[in-house]
Structure 1
Amino acid sequence: MLSLFYMKVTHLYHSGCLIELEYHQLLFDYYQGELHLNNDKPLYVFVSHRHYDHYNPEIFQFNHPQITYILSNTLRHKHDAYYVDVHQTYQIDDLSISTLLSTDEGCAFLVHVENQTIYHAGDLNWWHWQGEPQADNDYQRNTYLQEIQSINEPIDLACVVVDIRQEKDYLLGLSAFLKHVQTKYILPIHYFDRYETTQLLLKETLDNPYHAKILPVIQQNQSFEIE
């Protein structure tokens, strides 16, 4: 019998985050940052793709008694891990994990555990870059919308790309996500060191029909407790 809803979310750095639930820990796209792991709860380590800012081989050196690795099949190593493909659903222990196609490389994750649903985008985003060929930007738009519109259930926590390097287009992905996916909490990711992004984001007037709460990330290793 599960106890009351509990979730502690720690923004580690860039797109890396640690989510601690009542009985599980989920680590997504660890790149760097200070990790405080609970050895009494199993640890599930997710990697969305092989880019250096989403994958650090140090994950295989973690000192924890019960680790399970769930890795995009863009990483083919001789490690004991589950290698996942896009547009698939996997049952791993008591986690149900579905994958979406990234608009860059690898996958995004949709994880069901402890009666909660958690989304981590990896590099799935509406990447629109000024000066790129129109066909490329059209592909980004169409693929992103197709993927997020395939999410047909409420999300408790969504880790969504908000990248200020896109300049005036930095909200394209988040705005579409807010419109199409019923979400309780949004953790913005893909910040690098650009924490001024949060200040800009909180001043924006967003079309937010489901009243998602955006967690204000202002520094590395910042935690939020959600009840």
Structure 2
Amino acid sequence: MAAEAQITYLYNSGFIVKIKSCALVFDYYRDDNQDTANILQQCDRAYFFVSHSHFDHWNKDIAVFAGKTNKYFLSYDIHDAGQIPTEKIVTLDEYDNYSDENIIVKSFSSTDAGISFWLQLDEWQIFHAGDFNWWHWQGDSERNNAFARNGFNKQMKKLTGLSADIAFFPVDRRLEAAYDWGVKEFCRQTNVKNLVGMHNADRKACSLAADFAGTNKSISTWFPEKPGETKTIYK
């Protein structure tokens, strides 16, 4: 029987990945449909991941799920974890590692605040970029855009060759002509099988050319627009 991962879109960069009886919750900010509570009721284990402290990625209300959660992986820039039980918090700096009998987690840096995550659970490898991207803003100064390009390229040297069955990566319409620069380079330099676009809250979903990652790669893509949308990936 093929292994499957069910992905549910929460909002912005927030997603739940359900693998067997385990839930992985990334950058929970809003969940108007109460999908998190419903999915956690179906699971024996749960892990929360918070990439950084920006309001659209971090919500202290995730403490209400502590009874169903094994660990909360929080970025080093979150200084007030609210009511999350201390014993369930794992604070990760850039390039940190964590492992137990169920999960392996590695952190990378970002081109904005906080960190990005790579993890392995069972046979699945998953990457969540947080706010790591090539943030080239139209109308910004040449100096600032050069700084953004150099920061992105520097981090990509750490990520080149990374493998992921599922990768969540910003594909943000606000960047206008540059909306796909980061995701293209990321997918060309890594080994991603399924790409999920994110960080495009309340805006029409983006699209990518079939050969966006190069002519020798075939990557399945999904760009959810409405909270509650789901997709099942098989391997």
- Cα distance, 1:154 vs structure 2: 1.9
Alignment map for 1:142-153 (pairs within 5 Å): 142-151=150-159, 152-153=161-162
Give CA deviations for 1:118-170 in whole Å, capped at 9, x if unaligned. Answer: 00011000000123232322222222223234232321000000110011111
Residue identity opposite 2:6 in structure 1 = K
Does the 8 Å contact 1:149/1:181 carry over to 2?
no
**CA–CA distance in 2 between the matches of 1:63 and 1:37?**
14
Identity of aligned residues (%): 27
Residue identity opposite 1:224 in structure 2 = K
- In structure 2, the residue matched to 1:155 is 164
Does the 8 Å contact 1:183/1:210 carry over to 2?
no
**CA–CA distance in 2 between the matches of 1:8 and 1:55?**
22
- Cα distance, 1:213 vs structure 2: 0.6
Q: Which segment drifts farther, 159-168 or 90-99? A: 90-99
- In structure 2, the residue matched to 1:18 is 16
Residue identity opposite 2:45 in structure 1 = P
1:225 paired with 2:232, answer yes
Alignment map for 1:115-134 (pairs within 5 Å): 115-134=123-142
- Any idea what SS the aligned residue of 2:205 has? helix
Give CA deviations for 1:103-123 in whole Å, capped at 9, x if unaligned. Answer: 010000011111211000110
**CA–CA distance in 2 between the matches of 1:140 and 1:50?**
20
CA-based RMSD = 1.9
Consecutive unaligned residues of structure 1, counting only runs of 5 or more, are none
- In structure 1, the residue matched to 2:103 is 95
- In structure 2, the residue matched to 1:215 is 222
Q: Which segment drifts farther, 110-119 or 63-72? A: 63-72
**CA–CA distance in 2 between the matches of 1:204 and 1:182?**
16
**CA–CA distance in 2 between the matches of 1:50 and 1:105?**
7
Q: 1:213 to 1:149 in 2, by over 3 A?
A: farther
Aligned partner (choices 28, 31, 36) of residue 30 of structure 1: 28
**CA–CA distance in 1 between the matches of 2:200 and 2:56?**
11
Consecutive unaligned residues of structure 2, counting only runs of 5 or more, are none
- Any idea what SS the aligned residue of 1:52 has? coil
Does the 8 Å contact 1:29/1:48 carry over to 2?
yes
**CA–CA distance in 1 between the matches of 2:223 and 2:68?**
32
Q: 1:171 to 1:86 in 2, by over 3 A?
A: same
- In structure 1, the residue matched to 2:91 is 83
- Any idea what SS the aligned residue of 1:87 has? coil
- Cα distance, 1:63 vs structure 2: 6.3
Normalization by structure 2: what TM-score?
0.87
Count of aligned positions: 222
